Amino acid sequence: MTPDREMDAKQTAAELFLASFEGDCEDEPAWDAVRALRRRNDDEVFQLAAAYAQSGTPKHRARALDVLAQLGAGKPFAERPHFDESVSIAIAHLEDDDPLVAHSAAWALAHLQGDTATSALIRARKCADAQVRLAVSVGVAGSERPDAISTLMELMKDDDAEVRNWATSGLGLAGGENGPPVRLGTLDSAGIRDALRRRLTDSFREVRSEAVWGLARRKDPAALQLLLDRMNSEECITGDEMTAAEILGLKSNSPLEELQAGLRNLLRT
């Protein structure tokens, strides 16, 4: 049994919250407690989290938001009680005086998602804190709303490389993952392609890769050629092969030679 599962079985919700406050914010035992609380997904956990969210101690507020971020995660929304209240609590702390709390609030909204959370994240896109902007770039990426797409385009020009990376990835994948009516990476427009092309010369390699992949998913000829060139060189990485397989409708573990041949055939059409 893993440590967090042992916690889940042996400790009360109140004890788990106290354990989550111990040590530094990134300490694994504290996160074990957070994960155990999320799994409980009951009224007691929510009420304790809501109370701690009003605490005068920043770490208590942050941990409460960390719990609410994924309370009942993995279950259908109908089985996630207090979802709307969790979103409201997170929004109320987006401008918290303590950066740690603001970070947790932004990431809570990024995990919770939904229109209300997305709207709040979009409003936070100009926050001076790069960690909040990073949460925005992650959180709005699953939305096809025009204002979410324009937010990703804006964050693709951010001073922070990781913010640009996640925003570029989000725009590159825009289109959803669940088939019709819109398939992964197929939400397309001249503006989306132009935004991706501008990142082809980004100073951060990961951003350049995401731009290539995003354009290639849209069957952009120049990007398909760039992808093929990368796959013919020593610079080929796993993401190149995965993107090629996705474009060609092949298995992700298809041989490199098959993927290269498929791209060459696609370029001829």
Q: Supply the range of the domain harboring residue 248.
A: 219-269
**In terms of Cα–Cα distance, which of 173, 177, 196 is closest to 185?**
173
Is residue 9 one of the residues assigned to a domain?
yes
Residues 2 and 94 in one domain: yes
Instruction: Give whichever of 3-12, 78-87, 217-226 has the largest mean pLDDT.
Output: 217-226
Q: Kindly report the pTM of this predicted structure.
A: 0.89
Residues 208 and 223 in one domain: no
Is the pLDDT higher at 35 or at 9? 35
Identify the pLDDT of residue 3.
Answer: 55
Domain boundary among 173, 192, 212: 212
Identify the pLDDT of residue 26.
Answer: 86
Is residue 37 one of the residues assigned to a domain?
yes
Q: What is the pLDDT of residues 38-78, one digit of tens each?
A: 999 899 999 999 999 999 999 999 999 999 999 987 777 77
- Report, as an integer, the average pLDDT of 147-163: 97
180, pLDDT greater than 70: no
179, pLDDT greater than 60: no
CATH number for the domain spanning 195: value is 1.25.10.10
Q: What is the pLDDT of residues 203-254, one digit of tens each?
A: 999 999 999 999 999 999 999 999 999 999 998 999 999 999 999 999 999 9
Taking the C-alpha atoms of residue 108 and residue 105, their distance in angstroms, rounded to an integer, is 5
Distances (CA, A) of 5 to 34, 45, 64: 11, 16, 19
Identify the pLDDT of residue 254.
Answer: 96
Residues 1 and 105 in one domain: yes
Annotate 137-185 with three-state secondary structure: HHHCCCCCCHHHHHHHHHHCCCCCHHHHHHHHHHHHHCCCCCCCCCCCC
Is residue 120 one of the residues assigned to a domain?
no
pLDDT band for 174, please (50, 70, 90 cuts): confident
Average pLDDT over the chain reads 92
Is residue 31 one of the residues assigned to a domain?
yes
Domain count of the fold of the chain: 3
Domain boundary among 112, 136, 163: 112
